[in-house]
Amino acid sequence: MTDAQAGYAALGELQMYYEVHGSGPPLVLLHGAYLSADAMAPLRDGLLATHQVVVPEMQGHGRTADADRPLSYEQMADDAAALILELGMAPADVVGYSMGAGIGLQLAIRHPEAVRRLVVISGSYRHDGMQPEGLALFPTITPEMFAGSPREAEYQRLSPHPERFPELVGKLATLHATPFAWDDDDVRGYPAPTLIVVGDSDLVTVEHAAMLYRLRGGGGFGDLSGLPAAQLAVLPGTTHLIPPGAGVLDRGEWLLPMIRSFLDAEPPAG
């Protein structure tokens, strides 16, 4: 791990763990479900050359204890916004993966003053934007499926309450199995320029990523209309997570130059 400042922010009933790495313009890196700040190290370390990277751990994940409330994208976005304001980092660039991408979208919608630019990696704004096989799998997930797995071991190593892993699994299963469809006008209307990244064999479909891109102003004939503030990248031969080496987070050699270029670019004329 790089040299970092670590601490807890008191955000209402939540004591949110976070790490601050490096210096420069602030960037908040949001992890996926069942993951922790440690899982985001490849992206974190690749972005330190240009940004101060803040990596929080969401409710019930990593070193952040659970709270007596469900998990929702809206609530986790409110938590992330509260942390950004607490640290005096607004507006920050935000990069989210999977669940973290959904949190990032809600953060941009609900707290536009907190987000300068947004990178959505394997994220959806509608439940039906995910592959049907994934949607069928979510309700069947149980704690027993994680027995002896790296995910369970990491939770037990980091969590203030290692015995509560089954509760996290239950809350995430509910989150992922509950249909949602965020209003097109809300997705269309937030001001932050957005980079959308998806694997060609991802949990989120390529068609859904293209729909999100069009809502954000992309998809036109740029030769005549100019470039939009949104960008879309489809990574070839890339899954969501499995097998190791093929997941979208394993594509750092592609992701990092794209993200740096997007974050550093001047806004398109007009």
CATH number for the domain spanning 28: value is: 3.40.50.1820
- Mean per-residue pLDDT, 234-238: 98
In tens, the pLDDT along 66-119 reads 999 999 999 999 999 999 999 999 999 999 999 999 999 999 999 999 999 999
pLDDT of residue 134: 96
User: Measured on CA atoms in the order 263, 197, 2, 162, is the torsion positive or negative?
Assistant: positive
Query: In this structure, what DSSP letter does residue 210 have?
Result: H
In tens, the pLDDT along 116-158 reads 999 999 999 999 999 999 999 999 999 999 999 999 999 999 9
Which residue has tokens 């050699």?
253
> Would you call the peptide bond into 91 cis, given omega within 30 degrees of 0 as the criterion?
yes
Please indicate, yes or no, if residue 270 is contained in any of the structural domains. Answer: no
Triad 7, 11, 17: Cα angle to 5°? 25
Number of domains, the chain = 1
Please indicate, yes or no, if residue 255 is contained in any of the structural domains. Answer: yes
Domain membership of residue 148 as a residue range: 4-264
Please indicate, yes or no, if residue 96 is contained in any of the structural domains. Answer: yes
Which residue type sits at 260? R
Helix (H) or strand (E) holding 119: strand 115-121
- Specify whether the CB–CB gap between 30 and 100 falls below 8 A: yes
pLDDT band at 269 (very low <50, low <70, confident <90, very high): low
3-state secondary structure of 35: coil
> Would you call the peptide bond into 244 cis, given omega within 30 degrees of 0 as the criterion?
no
pLDDT of residue 259: 98
- Specify whether the CB–CB gap between 29 and 52 falls below 8 A: no
Please indicate, yes or no, if residue 269 is contained in any of the structural domains. Answer: no
